[in-house]
Chains A and B, each alone.
Chain A
Amino acid sequence: MTSAVTIPRHGGTGEGTAVAARARQVVKAYGSGETRVVALDSVDVDIARGRFTAIMGPSGSGKSTLMHCLAGLDTVTSGQIFLDETEITGLKDKKLTRLRRDRIGFIFQAFNLLPTLNALENITLPTDIAGRKPDAEWLRRVVDTVGLGERLKHRPSQLSGGQQQRVAVARALAARPEIIFGDEPTGNLDSRAGAEVLGFLRASVDELGQTIVMVTHDPVAASYADRVLYLADGRIVDEMERPTADAVLDRMKDFDARGRTS
């Protein structure tokens, strides 16, 4: 993954080979001098378009920081981040906001929905904010896929945790972003609801050609991805294509053991 410097441009989604986002020599450090803590240490990474990428690593490995930086939520200390051909490092807040609104979707671990808006209003919020009409055809397809048809008028407080996260996924999809970032989207769910949401994310990659990046520490969740990146101490230390839960678990144990002995 340290290869590929020239990237062909592609319009739209669904091209399996192109790169949706990339990071080049990204450093993120907190504090200075004695108290300086490096969360990301010269990370290079390419996120493939139309694929489902999982980022794994132990607590404090920098996996969430990497995602936040890729998504334009956090600033980097040095290095560059590109979304498609747009360099987002150094963008002003106004442009970053528009970029997040128009080109990126988010799913957080919890508190994804505005309590004052019903499910449908939450789903169309990003397009509403942008002052655009949602694409009715696409919206119906998304809502159908998520399977929330009857609950669209419900307020978040009337939905279960799994349903809330599905609404969050639908919201992320509805605006047709180039890339969706999930920050442990199933972290607060039981295994059944978690499987529901993950299955749905998988389906949106397979059927809708969506690009998804997900941070997780759950091997089962990671097994839904096409590719898993392992972070440790702010560096990418390994990756795995077409992971299975067992293989991911084994690899994690491996890291743990290495970490303990070294």
Chain B
Amino acid sequence: MTVLKTSLRNFFAHKGRMALSAVAVLLSVAFVSGTLVFTDTMNTTFDKLFASTASDVTVSPEGAAGNDETPQTGRPEALPASLVERVRKVEGVKDAQGSVTSLSVTVVDARNQNVGPTGGAPTIAVNWSPYELRSVELASGHEPRGPTDVVVDAGTAEKHHLKIGDTLRTIAVTGDHAARISGTVEFKVTNPGATVVYFDTATAQRELLGKEGLFTRVMVDAEPGVGDDALKKDVAAALGADARHYKLQTSAEVADAGREDIAGFLDVMKYAMLGFAGIAFLVGIFLIVNTFSMLVAQRTREIGLMRAIGAGREQVNRSVLVEALLLGLVGSVAGVAAGVGLAVGLMKIMSRMGMELSTRDLTVAWTTPAVGLALGIVVTVLAAYVPARRAGKVSPMAALRDAGTPADGRAGRARGVTGTVLTGAGAAALVMAARAAEAGPGSLWLGLGVVLSLLGFVVVGPLLAGGVVRALGVVVLRAFGPVGRMAERNALRNPRRTGATAAALMIGLALVAGLSVVGSSMVASATEELDRSVGADFIVRSATGQPIVPQAQAALEKTPGLDHVTAYKWVDAKVTDPRGRTTKSGLAATDPTYVRDLRRETTAGTLADAYGEDAMSVGSDYAAEHGVKVGDVLTVAFTGGDTAKLRVAAITADTGQVDKGAMYTNVSTAARHLPADRVPNSLLVLAGAKDGQETAAYEALKDALAPYPQYKVSNQADYKEELQNQVGQLLNIVYGLLALAIVVAVLGVVNTLALSVVERTREIGLMRAIGLSRRQLRRMIRLESVVIALFGALLGLGLGMGWGTAAQKLLALEGLGVLEIPWPTIVTVFVGSAFVGLLAALVPAFRAGRMNVLGAIASE
């Protein structure tokens, strides 16, 4: 009981010294609970959306694409209108409505600006039916009444300043259709970012499906008292033999399918963010260990006294752990609360990026606070365990000794041996990873190498502190004379503390360095490969991932100044090797000019021959795995078309990243085995300019595509730059998430300095008394901070570059052939960490400067 009382008293007496540790716990817990709240809220939003848009039973054509997919033909699978009448007559059916829905559309305004989202959410065109009114209500104007009317959702209208009467052009595979806005609709549930346009049914059928009398789905509602499953059975029975052409789903099944579609994306996001939270926790552990070590050291006499008057080791030990428990509790409770705020903030950011989320749907499951509290408390108590044990070992004699400053924590020989062994093992594993012949075991080696070398550096860090800090001292500190020398000595005074503080920073920076090496190697490798293999002058891609509509393709082909235009289409097919093994994949059906646009090396045959009648090529990996040689015949079952026998005329080398493993065939070969309306549109188009007309052709191409803003045309130089920007953006997101870990590490530096200043109060008083000015004192603390930060940066960058290099060597198997160390980034991070050091010292230095000289000298 008394022990608990002392713990409580100590905790509240030293709450200032624990504040930063609490903030570290808070940040990590906030990130975890924020992630959970955010993903739960997204799930709620989508669940509500699916619930509001699903009918009791939905009938759609067998083979229809899922919620978010768009068919390569650009034409949704359809079913005859007569089916609606058949279904309506089934017993138990209250009502059945035909629906026309297409996701293969782009909607542009009068200035050819895409009004749809480009960041993942779809643009949806639907027919106006009573059924739609379940999820939306008319906000202004009137419903679409004829071919010239279109209704758009209010969110899109607001974002793009659209008014009633404005013209919208809908680009579909069947052609462009212009109509004037007759009204806007408001969603009854949260619409997470889709742009929706509504036409009257006949127009929708004509413009989206090519002719009237077709629907994409039949929405069926049950009579009261009829269950969804029973209704589904009844409808299936009524359709009899025709049922096999259709897919019947209850509302629950539709919702499940929809959830599955987004689950992949949500899970990746959730686990990536939890991973970064884990890194922050790891960094926070160092901070907590340091805090408790310093508190125990400062309290040595007090603990000695408690032991002298009869407190047992266990009691002392426990009293420290109870303090840790309180710290964890306070930090976690605040963290969970902050997490909810973080989730709301994240939703705001996502909203700005086009992913609309509403706080109405904010979901805090009971597991969120439970997980947050458990994590925060367990991690804090575990981190405090070692210092707590050390506290238990304080002898009663400590009470009698003159405390002065606590004894230096000497880095021992055991530590050196352990650290060296771990680092050595880590380095060996990294070398194994770099030399691995296969990606699978290689990545295991890499993971092992990263973990072991990190542990090794953490353990050996305090031993390196001496040498590295002295070396840094020569470079950085000598310029500052005695103040610099004292800063250096102070940083070296407790190598364990300096090591742990720097290690926290090291972790974040090592990841930054490693990833930047991989990222810039990625760009360098891709650039090198593009230079080597790409012959095309221009590439046309779709920003939304949808294939290029025929009218855009036609405009492309008519562009003056072009030598040739190569269509690149993706055809779904099942490929069976001569031994009867089938793989479900697809073929890249391209025009024969492709061989000029992309120089693929072959291991056998000539790629040009693969464009002969009923010929194809395979990749070297496939050839090796299936024992396929040039001249062999593969059976290719085109989805929705014939099964053809195609002769292998070439085997391409699977070395680079571009089009790795693709099987090529001529567009004409694919077209011969597919019905006309099943021939896919071009996924991308490559083009070459006539000699000397490159610049003019580029401009002409841009002009030709101006009415189709969903497609982007780039020449080689722009394409490389876009690639670089893409990787850069990805890296920036990762750096942003790592910033959390780095912020915690910086708090760690602040914490160490602040506690050191408290610990050295008398020294500071003495120095001030004999004439050290405030400015010099502050400079001394700042320099100490800078040295610790630079030490951490040096270890982290070194470690990270090692990781990055090993990773690149491993990824060379996947075509990442060029190693590029991004020196500007590395140098920036190193210099930046010096500034981080300055920043971290700001408050501790200010507080040290404000100390009263006499009070400081007299303090115990």
Find B766's partner among A74, A112, A116, A128 (CB 8 Å cutoff).
Answer: A112
Say if the beta carbon of A251 comes within 8 Å of chain B: no
Q: Do residues B763 and A114 form an inter-chain contact, with CB atoms below 8 A?
A: yes
Cα(A116)–Cα(B486), bound, Å:
8
Q: Do residues A101 and B404 form an inter-chain contact, with CB atoms below 8 A?
A: no
Say if the beta carbon of B481 comes within 8 Å of chain A: yes
Do A128 and B482 form a contact, CB below 8 Å, given A94-B774, A97-B772, A100-B771? yes
Most chain A CB inside 10 Å of its own CB: which residue of B767, B769, B774, B776: B769
**Contact mask for chain B residues 847-860; partner A; CB cutoff 8 A; 1 contact, 0 none:** 00000011001000
Cα(A130)–Cα(B773), bound, Å:
9
Cα(A209)–Cα(B483), bound, Å:
31
Q: Do residues B481 and A128 form an inter-chain contact, with CB atoms below 8 A?
A: yes
Say if the beta carbon of A52 comes within 8 Å of chain B: no
Q: What residue of chain B has the Cβ atom nearest to residue A103's Cβ?
A: B771
Cα(A114)–Cα(B776), bound, Å:
16
Say if the beta carbon of A31 comes within 8 Å of chain B: no
Chain B contacts with A in 729-780, Cβ cutoff 8 A: 762-763, 766-774, 776
Residues of A within 8 A of B853 (CB): 73
Say if the beta carbon of A98 comes within 8 Å of chain B: yes
Cα(A115)–Cα(B490), bound, Å:
10
Do A126 and B489 form a contact, CB below 8 Å, given A111-B762, A111-B857, A131-B481? no
Say if the beta carbon of B145 comes within 8 Å of chain A: no
Do A129 and B489 form a contact, CB below 8 Å, given A73-B853, A112-B766? no
Q: Do residues B774 and A130 form an inter-chain contact, with CB atoms below 8 A?
A: no
**Contact mask for chain A residues 68-109; partner B; CB cutoff 8 A; 1 contact, 0 none:** 100001100000000000000000011001101110011010
Find B770's partner among A100, A111, A116, A121 (CB 8 Å cutoff).
Answer: A100
Cα(A36)–Cα(B371), bound, Å:
56
**Contact mask for chain B residues 1-33; partner A; CB cutoff 8 A; 1 contact, 0 none:** 000000000000000000000000000000000
Residues of B within 8 A of A126 (CB): 770-771
Cα(A54)–Cα(B598), bound, Å:
97
Do A102 and B405 form a contact, CB below 8 Å, given A114-B486, A114-B763? no
Residues of A within 8 A of B482 (CB): 125, 128-129
Say if the beta carbon of B493 comes within 8 Å of chain A: yes
Do A108 and B776 form a contact, CB below 8 Å, given A128-B481, A131-B481? no
**Contact mask for chain A residues 24-44; partner B; CB cutoff 8 A; 1 contact, 0 none:** 000000000000000000000
Cα(A101)–Cα(B767), bound, Å:
10
Residues of A within 8 A of B490 (CB): 116
Say if the beta carbon of A117 comes within 8 Å of chain B: yes
Do A125 and B770 form a contact, CB below 8 Å, given A114-B486, A114-B763? yes
Find A115's partner among B405, B768, B773 (CB 8 Å cutoff).
Answer: B405
Cα(A113)–Cα(B767), bound, Å:
9
Cα(A105)–Cα(B774), bound, Å:
18
Cα(A74)–Cα(B768), bound, Å:
12
Q: Do residues A111 and B854 form an inter-chain contact, with CB atoms below 8 A?
A: no
Find A117's partner among B486, B492, B769, B774 (CB 8 Å cutoff).
Answer: B486
Closest approach, in angstroms, between the C-beta of A219 and any C-beta of chain B? 25
Cα(A114)–Cα(B763), bound, Å:
6
Cα(A128)–Cα(B773), bound, Å:
12
Find A101's partner among B483, B493, B770 (CB 8 Å cutoff).
Answer: B770
Q: How large is the interface on B (under 10, 10 to 19, 20 to 34, 35 or more residues)?
A: 20 to 34
Residues of B within 8 A of A112 (CB): 766
Cα(A102)–Cα(B772), bound, Å:
10
Q: Do residues B766 and A114 form an inter-chain contact, with CB atoms below 8 A?
A: yes
Say if the beta carbon of A171 comes within 8 Å of chain B: yes
Q: What residue of chain B has the Cβ atom nearest to residue A128's Cβ?
A: B482
Cα(A79)–Cα(B762), bound, Å:
29
Closest approach, in angstroms, between the C-beta of A190 and any C-beta of chain B? 15
Q: Do residues B776 and A129 form an inter-chain contact, with CB atoms below 8 A?
A: yes
Q: Do residues B766 and A101 form an inter-chain contact, with CB atoms below 8 A?
A: no
Q: Do residues B769 and A100 form an inter-chain contact, with CB atoms below 8 A?
A: yes
Cα(A97)–Cα(B776), bound, Å:
11
Cα(A143)–Cα(B729), bound, Å:
65
Residues of B within 8 A of A131 (CB): 481
Residues of A within 8 A of B770 (CB): 100-101, 105-106, 125-126, 129, 171
Do A93 and B774 form a contact, CB below 8 Å, given A125-B482, A131-B481? yes
Residues of A within 8 A of B854 (CB): 68, 73-74
Closest approach, in angstroms, between the C-beta of A186 and any C-beta of chain B? 17
Cα(A121)–Cα(B767), bound, Å:
13
Most chain A CB inside 10 Å of its own CB: which residue of B492, B770, B853: B770
Do A97 and B774 form a contact, CB below 8 Å, given A112-B766, A116-B490, A128-B481? yes
Q: Do residues A111 and B773 form an inter-chain contact, with CB atoms below 8 A?
A: no
Cα(A46)–Cα(B489), bound, Å:
41
Residues of B within 8 A of A121 (CB): 485
Q: Do residues A115 and B763 form an inter-chain contact, with CB atoms below 8 A?
A: yes
Q: What residue of chain A has the Cβ atom nearest to residue B482's Cβ?
A: A128
Residues of B within 8 A of A113 (CB): 766
Find B771's partner among A102, A111, A115 (CB 8 Å cutoff).
Answer: A102
Q: Do residues B404 and A111 form an inter-chain contact, with CB atoms below 8 A?
A: yes
Residues of B within 8 A of A117 (CB): 486, 489
Cα(A133)–Cα(B138), bound, Å:
86
Closest approach, in angstroms, between the C-beta of B575 and any C-beta of chain A? 74
Q: Do residues A114 and B767 form an inter-chain contact, with CB atoms below 8 A?
A: yes
Do A98 and B486 form a contact, CB below 8 Å, given A116-B493, A131-B481? no
Q: Do residues A97 and B767 form an inter-chain contact, with CB atoms below 8 A?
A: no
Residues of A within 8 A of B857 (CB): 108, 111
Residues of A within 8 A of B486 (CB): 114, 116-117
Q: Do residues A101 and B763 form an inter-chain contact, with CB atoms below 8 A?
A: no
Find A129's partner among B405, B762, B763, B772 (CB 8 Å cutoff).
Answer: B772
Cα(A63)–Cα(B822), bound, Å:
66
Chain B contacts with A in 816-860, Cβ cutoff 8 A: 853-854, 857
Cα(A126)–Cα(B767), bound, Å:
9
Cα(A115)–Cα(B760), bound, Å:
10
Q: Do residues A97 and B404 form an inter-chain contact, with CB atoms below 8 A?
A: no
Find B773's partner among A68, A98, A106 (CB 8 Å cutoff).
Answer: A98
Residues of B within 8 A of A68 (CB): 854
Q: What residue of chain B has the Cβ atom nearest to residue A65's Cβ?
A: B854
Closest approach, in angstroms, between the C-beta of A156 and any C-beta of chain B? 9
Find A106's partner among B483, B485, B769 (CB 8 Å cutoff).
Answer: B769
Residues of B within 8 A of A97 (CB): 768, 771-774
Cα(A129)–Cα(B486), bound, Å:
10
Closest approach, in angstroms, between the C-beta of B789 and any C-beta of chain A? 20
Q: What residue of chain B has the Cβ atom nearest to residue A112's Cβ?
A: B766
Cα(A115)–Cα(B493), bound, Å:
9
Closest approach, in angstroms, between the C-beta of A172 and any C-beta of chain B? 8
Q: Do residues A111 and B766 form an inter-chain contact, with CB atoms below 8 A?
A: yes
Q: Do residues B762 and A101 form an inter-chain contact, with CB atoms below 8 A?
A: no
Q: What residue of chain B has the Cβ atom nearest to residue A94's Cβ?
A: B773
Cα(A128)–Cα(B772), bound, Å:
10
Most chain A CB inside 10 Å of its own CB: which residue of B489, B776, B857: B857
Closest approach, in angstroms, between the C-beta of B853 and any C-beta of chain A? 6
Cα(A106)–Cα(B768), bound, Å:
11
Cα(A126)–Cα(B770), bound, Å:
6
Q: What residue of chain B has the Cβ atom nearest to residue A68's Cβ?
A: B854
Closest approach, in angstroms, between the C-beta of B775 and any C-beta of chain A? 8
Q: Do residues B489 and A101 form an inter-chain contact, with CB atoms below 8 A?
A: no
Residues of B within 8 A of A102 (CB): 771
Q: What residue of chain A has the Cβ atom nearest to residue B486's Cβ?
A: A116
Cα(A115)–Cα(B853), bound, Å:
18
Chain A contacts with B in 154-206, Cβ cutoff 8 A: 171
Q: Do residues A73 and B769 form an inter-chain contact, with CB atoms below 8 A?
A: yes
Cα(A106)–Cα(B853), bound, Å:
13
Residues of B within 8 A of A115 (CB): 404-405, 493, 763
Q: Can you list 15 A-B pairs, Cβ within 8 angstroms, ordered by A?
A: A94-B774, A97-B768, A97-B771, A97-B772, A98-B771, A98-B773, A100-B770, A111-B766, A113-B766, A117-B486, A117-B489, A121-B485, A125-B767, A125-B770, A129-B767
Q: A73-B854, A111-B762 are in contact. List 15 more A-B contacts (CB 8 A).
A: A97-B772, A97-B773, A98-B773, A100-B769, A100-B770, A102-B771, A106-B769, A106-B770, A108-B766, A114-B766, A115-B404, A117-B486, A125-B482, A131-B481, A171-B770
